[in-house]
Amino acid sequence: MKGSLNLGRVSGIKIKVHWTFLFIIIWVAFIEINQGGNLQSVLFNIALILVVFLCVVLHELGHALTAQHFGVKTKKITLLPIGGIASLEKIPEEPKQELLVAVAGPFVNVVIALILYFIVPVQQFLADNLTNIIENLNALTLTNFFFYLFVVNVMLVLFNLIPAFPMDGGRVLRAFLAMNMGRVKATQIAAVIGQSIAIVFLLLGMLYNPFLILIALFVFVGAYGENKMVQQIELLKGHTVSEAMLTNITLLKIDDTLASVKDLILSGTEKDFIIEQEGKPLGILMNADIINNSNKPNMFVGDIMKTSFKVLGINDKLKNVLSLGELQKGYFFPVLDANKKLVGAIDLTNINEFILFQSKLEY
């Protein structure tokens, strides 16, 4: 996601905050001022928001570090106004591992809530009568700060355990189901349950709170996407890159000009190209770079080609290629045979075509 500020690294995992996060701080300050707050109360609320998001980062780190334990890397954790996202390279397919990775996030909030429960202490706080509690909550005290934080962490646990994708509860449910049936079946059932919950949210949202409509949409799309992804991976299982790669491709030489590439693009259907020398890929020429430099027809392709790129082998597993982040971003990979000789290329369009053919074979 573009426009993120780096906050640092924890155990090699980048922590980023998206610029739209600023809105939530401005919004909180605006609401507080609107309700007759002063500088102190505004700062109190902003501090609360920042600490809440610190809890969200710790939640995501719970997922990421547990995944790391099972050998799955996390590229980054991004903070958005709606919450955090840990970009895991893949979801562990072993149900027990998936279960632990999914539970680790909410577990962090349980621990935080427990600690705060004793610091506040919550039991004493709630022992008072309701009128007093509500009046007490208006004061800008450290006890209130911790009490609010306690409530938020409890809510984070409850919200995340709703058994619907993309919430952690959806993964927990799928992992439990997958222990007794195949992963594809388990995902299908979990997706149906998730989408049913989304419909309930939608109805409740229309009656009571528009915010629930937003969550319903989020859950509905999440369940659909997860189900589709798992089915696609299933269709790719047991197949290798050599079965889906492009072999009918135009190879460029380092001193070909952009004018000749433009002719190639217009006269055919190829968009990205490989620059080859003696059977080896020297670089890749991405469509965006060709377009951006199209006002320089005499430029050599060697001047704008990417020289750092990933190559794949003909025997690499297609299902692993699908989960490559670079593929999802529209990258194009040269494919080499066992002797490191260039034999083809592969991209997302290719793999999608292959999935389409496979799905017609199976159903």
| Residue 222 in the binding site for Zn ion (CB under 5 A) | no
Q: Which residue is nearest to Zn ion, using beta carbons?
A: 105
Catalytic residue among 60, 98, 226, 234: 60
Nearer to Zn ion, 88 or 274 (CB): 88
Minimum Å gap between C-beta 82 and Zn ion is: 13
Shortest CB 326 distance to Zn ion, Å: 25
Q: What single string gives the DSSP state of each residue in 241-275?
A: HHHH-B-S-PEEPTT-BHHHHHHHHHHSS--SEEE
Annotated catalytic residue 278? no
38, burial (CB in 10 Å: exposed 0-12, middle 13-18, buried 19+): exposed
Q: How many whole angstroms separate alpha carbon 48 and alpha carbon 79?
A: 16
Residue 283 in the binding site for Zn ion (CB under 5 A): no
User: For Zn ion, what does the binding mask look like between residues 96 and 115, x meaning CB under 5 A?
Assistant: ---------x----------
Instruction: Pick the stretch among 8-16, 162-170, 255-263, 300-308 that binds Zn ion (CB under 5 A).
Output: 162-170
- 168 counts as binding Zn ion under rule CB under 5 A: yes
Residue 159 beta carbon to Zn ion: minimum distance, rounded to whole angstroms = 10
- In the stretch 56-95, what mask flags binding to Zn ion with x, by CB under 5 A? ----------------------------------------
Runs of H (alpha helix) within the chain: 21-34, 39-69, 95-119, 122-127, 130-136, 142-160, 168-178, 183-207, 210-236, 241-244, 258-267, 287-292, 301-304, 318-322, 325-328, 348-362
Which residues sit opposite 275 in a β-bridge? 252, 283
Stretch that binds Zn ion, among 36-44, 139-147, 167-175, 221-229 (CB under 5 A): 167-175
- CB distance 174 to 181 below 8 Å: no
Calpha distance 173→241 (Å, rounded):
32
Residue 316 binds Zn ion, judged by CB under 5 A: no
| Strand order from edge to edge, sheet including 280-285 | 251-252, 273-277, 280-285
Quote the least distance from Cβ 156 to Zn ion, whole Å. Answer: 9
Residue 101 Cβ vs Zn ion, minimum distance, rounded to whole Å: 9
Residues serving a catalytic function are 60
Q: Tell me which residues touch Zn ion (CB under 5 A).
A: 105, 168
